[in-house]
Each structure stands twice: as C-alpha cells, then as structure tokens.
Amino acid sequence: MNHSSSIPQLQSAIHAALRAWHVTGGAPRDLLADLLLVQARRLTVTQDGSPATLRLATNQVLLESIGELETQDQTAARVLRARFIEKHKLMAVANQLNVSEHSVSRYQRAAIERLTDIIHGREQTLRQERGQRLETQLPPASYTRLFGLHEMRTKLETLLLGVKAPWVVALVGIGGIGKTALADAVTRQVIDHFAFAHIVWVRSEPQTMSGQSRSPQLMYEDFITTLDSRLWSDATEVRSFEQRLFQVRQALKQRPCLVVIDNLERETDTAYLLAHLNDLANPSKFLLTTRTRPVEQATVYTVNVDELSPADATALLRHHAQDIGIQAMDTATAADIENIYQVVGGNPLALKLVVSLLDLLPLSQVLSDLARSQPGPVEAMYKHIYWQTWHVLSPQARQLLQAMPLVAESGGLPAYLRALSGLSEAELWPALQELRHRSLLEVRGTLQEKRYGIHRLTETFLHTEIIHWPDSPAAS
C-alpha cells in the first residue's frame, strides 16, 4: 500500500490493522506503515522503533479515527471497539446490541468502510499540508515548461527514491543547459512520494557580497551552517563548526532528507564537497548541479545534461516566442529554425536569448554575429548573445539589470528593485517588461506575489563582461 493505493486496498489494510490490535509489532501492512498519519505519530510516541511502540502509534491513529466516527455514528464506533479492542465475539456483541450476528457483521463492514473514509480524508489533508510545506523549501520555479527531459526526470526520480546507493547524484552540464530546472522538476516529483522528511535547497555562492572568492573549505562551512539552520530549530545558538557538523550529521542520519546543492561552478568546490558528502549521506541523499565533471575517484553518480535535440529545440523556440510575444517566430520556417540550431545548438538559455532579439534584429544579422564567434568555447557564443542584447536595451533597463546581482535567489519585490536601481515606479515597470521580453529576467513567485530575478549565467556575465563593455562593439 502506498500514497496512490485505492480505497479498497486501504480498507483491507485497516481491517488487518484492527485484527492485529493486540499483536506486538506486526507486518508493515498491519501497522499501516505507509500512512503519513502513522509515521507522524511514531515520532511523537518514540523514535526507538521497538515493535511495541510501532503498534502503539498505529493503534493511536485508529483510536482517534474511531473517536471521529463516534461523532457520526455511535453504533458503528461501539461495534469496532467491542470487536477489535475488547475482543468480543460476534455473539457477545449481538447480545449487547440485541440484534442478530448477521446484523453485527453488517454493522462491522459498514463501520470499517466509514472508518476508511475518515482515515483516508485525514491522510489526504496531512499529505497536502506536508507537500505544501516541503515545496516552500524550494526556490520559485523559473520555467513554465521543460523540453526533452522526460526520460532523465524519470531516471532521477528512481535514483532518488531508491533506498540504497547512489546517495550522491550530480547533474553535470554547461551554464544555461537546464540543470537547475531539471533538479527543481525532479525534486517536486519526489515530494509527491513523501520519502523524505525534509527537503533542503542550497544555492552555492562562490563569492561573497563584496565579490571576494570563498575557499572550498569556507564554502563547505557555510553549507553546514545553512543545513544546521534548516534542520534544527535551535540553530541560532552560538556553536562551533564541529558542533554544527555533528547536529547536521545526526539529523541526516536519523531520517532521510533530500539536500539539493545548486550552482556549483568551480571544480575545487565540487571536489571538496564530494569528499565530505558521503559521510553525511545514507539514508539521506544529495543532488548536485555542477558545471565541472567530478573526478573519477569521487563516490557520486554522474548524470550528463546534454543539449536539446533539434525537435525539442524547435518546440522550445516556438513556445518561448509565444510566451514572451515574439511574433516574428510565427513565420519562421523549418529552414530558419535549422539555421538557428546550427549556430546556437541546443542550449535552452542561448535559444531563449536569441528568440528575444528577433523582434528588433533580423535573424540573418543575429546569426551572422554569432557565427563570427564560432568555432570556440560556449562562453564566446554567450558573450556575443549578451552583447547583442545589451546594446538594444534602454538606459533604464540597463540600470535595472546592473542592480539585479544584488537580489536574493528567490527574487526581489518591485519596491526593493526600485530602491536598488534608483528607478522611479514609472520607469521600473517598463524596464521590467523590457528585461522579461529580452529573456534577461525571470518572473518568480505566486499568483498573489511576483518576484523578479536573473539566471546565474546572466549574473556571471554582468560581473565579468557587461560592466566593462563600452557602447561600441569594437571591444567585444
């Protein structure tokens, strides 16, 4: 039985659990071990895992639900208590109720059906609350749809939900290839299975706010501090690094947690983390996104995130053009899209950036400028794309973009963006729309509240390239 079990399966398991009321321990099915209700009650009873306490937790969930049933039907609750808790035979219960044994059997079946409905309702409510709470640990999704990643998502889901190795999984690929989006999507899938007590998402920051690079050791210490604050309610107390590490390890070993470490850029950071994570893993698991392939000696399962196929790239191009309102793509022929793919390849971010230019620049000019950067590293292609985009921005949009690296990962609210950029409210909204239109801004948040941020690769180019660019293309 699992979270997707049918009502008849749950009813059968509840009947078995009632029959085993006085049995110490029992099989997982008799203990309703798959129910979150039971798992949560075990934590309040004890964590020693002894057969007696496991049975106690199950019986308490049943007893509470019988109490709720009693408010609806006193006879049904009385029959269940008499038959399973007090262990009376059918004849004795029939005499108590002054009915036939056949009537008691009928009452019992109906009572178990109603008890199943009650427990199912409580379980669904708890699952919804738990799922929403776990999802709040994730940054807002920066994508509306993923392309070409279905098989990889399924594979990763299987790896993460498995109760054995690998304990550490690394998504490896170049910047803008979709590693973060893939990690986010599979994490949201995993949440639905409730295999992990906690979900912790940590974004690696190779630099401090002042722009200084962190050493791998300092990066690891900051990582442990973050985990400590997420996993322990008393993490605000002043403690040494060794004490924090001990508490983090204890939490990760007691109950399975999923820790996502996003945005590892430097090979030294990735290597240092991998040298320490396996000591923290099992039963907890780690999912990393990194631009550098782990060394062969590292105990990690590596998944390469490759470029999109031509078909998936075509679907992404047309979807993104429709999403941001680039009507020029409506008339793009198969040959046009093939030309884009030949120059840009299947990198999702690069494809989006190219699309965003097509309402202002002709495709031939965009591709011609990009072609001059080929062959060469992918960074050269990005540099040309960002250069093209930068020089079609208004002064207000440039001013806002230059302030965006100061915005937190979760994005900034409009009032905060105004304060950072120095733009007036009348200037801010056109600038936001312009950056969104150019695929330089990611809209995050909910229906009720919108936040705005930028992709890590855009942030990197702002730091390393854009701030040094003059208005002339000669220096590019």
Average pLDDT of the segment spanning 64-87? 96
**140 part of a folded domain:** no
The answer to the question of residue 261 being in a domain is: yes
Residue carrying the six token digits 């004849």: 91
pLDDT band at 475 (very low <50, low <70, confident <90, very high): very low
Cis? peptide before 166, omega within 30° of 0 = yes
E strands, 224-313, are 257-264, 285-290, 301-304
Cα angle 185, 453, 206 (rounded to 5 degrees) comes to: 80
- The whole-number pLDDT of residue 266 equals 87
Residue 307 to residue 181: CA distance in whole angstroms: 14
Do both 333 and 462 map to the same domain? Answer: yes
Spatial distance between the Cα atoms of 238 and 400, rounded to a whole number of angstroms: 38
Residue 371: predicted pLDDT: 77
The answer to whether residues 159 and 266 belong to one domain is yes
Same domain flag for 251 and 200: yes
Does the pLDDT at position 139 exceed 90?
no
* 219 Cβ contact partners less than 8 Å away, ≥ 6 residues apart: 204, 205, 206, 269, 272, 273
Same domain (yes/no): 187, 77: no
Domain end, chosen from 261, 282, 304, is at 304
CB atoms within 10 A of CB 461: 24
Mean pLDDT of 367-389: 75
User: Which of 133, 164, 183 is the C-terminal boundary of a domain?
Assistant: 133
Decide if 141 is inside a domain. no
What CA–CA distance (Å, rounded) separates 28 from 14?
A: 12
Q: Are 99 and 217 found together in one domain?
A: no
Structural domain contains residue 139: no
Q: What's the token pair of residue 404?
A: 């965006």
> What pLDDT score does 142 carry?
77
In this structure, are 99 and 204 located in the same domain? no
| Domain match, 300 and 316 both | no
138 falls within a domain: no
Rounded to whole angstroms, how far apart are CA atoms 110 and 93?
15
Percent of the chain's residues with pLDDT above 90: 59
Segment 10-23 shows an average pLDDT of 95
Token reading at 283: 């039963």
pLDDT for 4 beyond 50: no
- Give the burial class of 137: count Cβ atoms within 10 A of its Cβ; 0-12 exposed, 13-18 middle, 19 or more buried: middle
315 and 295 assigned to the same domain? no
- Backbone region of residue 99 per phi and psi (left: phi > 0; alpha: psi in -120 to 50; beta: other values): beta
Which CATH number do you get for residue 76?
1.20.140
Q: How far apart are CA 12 and CA 14, in angstroms?
A: 5
Rg (CA), the chain: 28
Among the candidates 274, 304, 334, a domain finishes at 304
Residue 131: pLDDT over 50: yes
| CB atoms inside a 10 Å sphere around CB 164 | 7
The answer to whether residues 125 and 228 belong to one domain is no
Residue type, 271: A
- Kindly indicate the confidence band of residue 471, based on its pLDDT and cuts at 50, 70 and 90: very low
Which residue type sits at 60? Q
Same domain, 169 and 296: yes
For residue 106, CA distances in Å to 90, 101, 103, 186, 446 come to: 11, 9, 5, 46, 49
CA dihedral 426, 431, 432, 433 (to 10 degrees): 100
1 in a structural domain: no
Residue 3 has pLDDT above 50, yes or no: no
Report which of residues 296 and 223 the model is more confident about.
223
Stretch 250-267: mean pLDDT, rounded? Answer: 92
Q: Per-residue confidence at 447, pLDDT binned at 50, 70, 90?
A: low
144 domain-assigned: no
Predicted pLDDT at 376? 54
Give the separation between CA 354 and CA 341, rounded to whole angstroms: 11
Q: Give pLDDT, residue 380.
A: 76
Residue 371 domain boundaries: 310-475
- How many domains in the chain? 3
Residue 236 has pLDDT above 80, yes or no: no
Residue 12 to residue 308: CA distance in whole angstroms? 47
pLDDT tens readout for residues 266-325? 889 999 999 999 999 999 999 999 988 887 767 899 999 999 999 999 999 999 999 888
Q: Are residue 295 and residue 317 in the same domain, yes or no?
A: no
Residues 158 and 139: their CA atoms lie apart, in Å, by 23
CA 455 from centroid of its chain's CA atoms: 17
CATH number at residue 293: 3.40.50.300
Instruction: Report which of residues 283 and 238 the model is more confident about.
Output: 283
Q: Is residue 406 a contact partner of residue 462, using CB atoms and an 8 Å limit?
A: no
The pLDDT of residue 372 is 72
* Average pLDDT in the chain: 88
> What's the pLDDT score for residue 217?
92
Total-model pTM: 0.80
Q: Does the pLDDT of residue 31 top 80, yes or no?
A: yes
> What is the pLDDT averaged over residues 423-428?
94
Q: Report, as an integer, the average pLDDT of 436-440.
A: 89
**CA 425, CA 283: separation in Å to the nearest integer?**
50
Question: Is 66 in the same domain as 119?
Answer: yes
